[in-house]
Amino acid sequence: MTEIAAKEEEAAAVEIDERTTKQVALGAFVGTALEWYDFFLFTTASAIVFNVQFFVSDNALVASLAAFGTLAVGFVARPLGGLIFGAMGDKVGRKKVLMITIVGIGAVTGLIGLLPNYFSIGIAAPIILILLRFAQGLAVGGEWSGAMIIAIENAPLAKRSRYAAVPQLGSPVATILSSGGFFLLALSMSKSDFDSFGWRIPFLIAIPLLLVSLWIRRKLEESPVFSQVMEHGETESAPIKQVLKTFFPQIIVGMATTLLGVGGFYLVTTFVISYGVRVLHLDSKLFLLATLLAAVVEIPVLIYAGRLGEKIGASKVAVIGGALTAVLAYPVFMAIESKDPVLVVLAIIIGVSALSIPYAISGVILTGLFPVHLRYTGVAIAANTAGLVSGFVPLIATAFLAASGDQIWPAILILVAVALFTLVAGLLVPRLSIPVKGLKH
């Protein structure tokens, strides 16, 4: 690891203009916000729309399982997209790949908004929806990794945790836009109007958002550290093979540190929405409001956790977030089980806030595990493996819920297990990261 560490320190020594850092961070944030907006639209729609519009069944549980299965298809596609775009990013550069992925995400989301439902074209509707979801997953597989890497590689070493949290702000902002859009539409129109055409409006809005993102992202600067690698002819001809051969432990640890912020989020939001509506018989608008408020609170949590990573190291922040989530899992779900609207909203806010702590610094942890010339591939594989597992969390929780007779304890155990997985990985991060002077792991 000595030679790799030396190259990393040499690359990191490239002079960074922090004005450029802020511009690149903005470009990464905008693209990531669109990415998660499109993805969260699908997760929310899976819980309240797709199960009745595309997966028609007399059994509500079967319809929910089919909708969540389609949600999982996107996560299955993410590792493949990560391999494709990760390798491209390590060969031709981060900026070029990010322009491709953002177009793919925005275009597919717009098409979903135009897709006729099962009652219009029959079985073709869910089939096309699954194909579009797969295409969306491919593009997302390369988007988050590239946006995070280009933001961090353009940041000063001592402030990498801070700027790593900036693209992560795209998640709560996207949640506000997607859940807020669904909430306002559900509030302002009848259920029949919402089910027939209202749900399509947020998907169609992705098209103008894509145009804005492209306008901002075209100003992105290629990262100076990767430009140096290209100038010296040190790009890797077979990055996937090299990463899997040399950095497999880093992939597992990187995946584990990312898992809570993604998989835990889908458990506390997507699964809880479905559970609350189907089992507790609560209004879906209550959960949309709770998710919206949780996203608002998540923004300062992410900023604080990023700053905390600068002071004590990103790995310690991951450990804190994992421990806090594990401790809060039981009271959070018991509050939801109470059916009291105030407690339900508070529970979702607290649950999302706790698991957002390790999410804030997952980017700086992942980039620190891989050298510059293999970074896009390594980060993409690790992050999208976490995404693959996360995509099945609502489906697994729903299946266990049915097997237990609609008891909530399986969901509690799943959240605790994921939190402890992230906690243990956080403890291992310093041993596997590339040592760079001035950067706390």
Residue 100 lies in a domain: yes
Q: Is residue 182 part of a domain?
A: yes
Report, as an integer, the average pLDDT of 302-318: 91
- Judged against a pLDDT cut of 90, whether residue 348 lies above it is answered with yes
CB neighbours (10 Å) of residue 159? 17
Domain presence at residue 75: yes
Q: What is the DSSP string of 141-171?
A: HHHHHHHHHHHHHTS-GGGHHHHHHHHHTHH
Dihedral sign, Cα of residue 187, residue 49, residue 299, residue 100:
negative
Confidence of residue 413 (pLDDT cuts 50, 70, 90): very high
Helix axes 60-92, 18-48, angle to 10 degrees: 160
Alpha carbons 205 and 207: distance in angstroms, whole number: 5
Answer whether residue 440 is part of any domain: no
pLDDT digits (tens, 9 = 90+) for 74-120: 778 888 998 899 888 888 888 888 888 888 888 888 898 888 887 78
With pLDDT > 70 as the criterion, what percentage of the chain qualifies? 89
The predicted structure's pLDDT at residue 331: 96
Residue 61 pLDDT > 70:
no
Higher pLDDT, 346 or 394: 346
Which of 167, 157, 154 has the alpha carbon at shortest distance from 227? 154
Q: Position 311: which residue type?
A: K
Distance CA 199, CA 208 (A): 17
Q: What is the pLDDT of residues 352-378, one digit of tens each?
A: 999 999 999 998 999 999 988 889 999
Could you tell me if 217 and 25 are in contact, meaning their C-beta atoms sit under 8 angstroms apart? no
Q: Per-residue pLDDT tens for 266-299?
A: 899 878 888 888 888 888 788 878 988 998 999 9
Answer whether residue 31 is part of any domain. Answer: yes
Q: Which tens digit of pLDDT belongs to each residue from 127-176?
A: 888 888 888 888 888 888 888 888 888 888 778 888 888 888 988 888 78
Q: What tens digit of pLDDT does each residue of 4-47 get?
A: 554 555 455 556 667 778 888 888 888 888 878 877 787 777 76
Instruction: Give the closest residue to 89 by CA, choosing from 148, 34, 131.
Output: 148
CATH number for the domain spanning 172: value is: 1.20.1250.20
Torsion over CA: 110, 214, 11, 319 (sign): negative
Q: Which residue has the higher pLDDT, 68 or 233?
A: 233
Would you state the pLDDT for residue 10?
47
Which domain covers residue 276, as residue numbers? 2-432
Helix (H) or strand (E) holding 344: helix 341-368
pLDDT for residue 406 is more than 60: yes
More confidently predicted of 205 and 343: 343
What 8-state DSSP symbol labels residue 122? Answer: T
What number of other Cβ atoms are within 10 A of residue 313's Cβ? 22
Q: What is the pLDDT of residue 437?
A: 56
362, amino acid identity: S
Residue appearing with tokens 């990767």: 226
Is 96:222 a contact under the CB 8 Å cutoff? no
Contact predicate 29/21, CB 8 Å:
no
pLDDT band at 248 (very low <50, low <70, confident <90, very high): very high
Hey, CA dihedral for 310, 312, 318, 321, is it positive or negative? Answer: negative
pTM, two decimals, is 0.82
**How confident is the model at residue 70, as a pLDDT?**
66
Cβ neighbours for 27, distance < 8 A, ≥ 6 positions apart: 150, 216, 217, 219, 220
Q: How many domains does the chain have?
A: 1
String of b and e for 284-307 (b: at least 16 CB within 10 Å)?
A: bebbbbbbbbbbeebbebbbebbe
Q: Are 151 and 28 in contact (CB under 8 A)?
A: yes
Question: What is the distance, to the nearest Å, from the Cα of residue 151 to the centroid of all Cα atoms in its chain?
Answer: 16
Assigned domain for 239 exists: yes
Domain annotation covers residue 208: yes
Structural tokens at position 317: 């922040």
**Does residue 439 sit within a domain?**
no
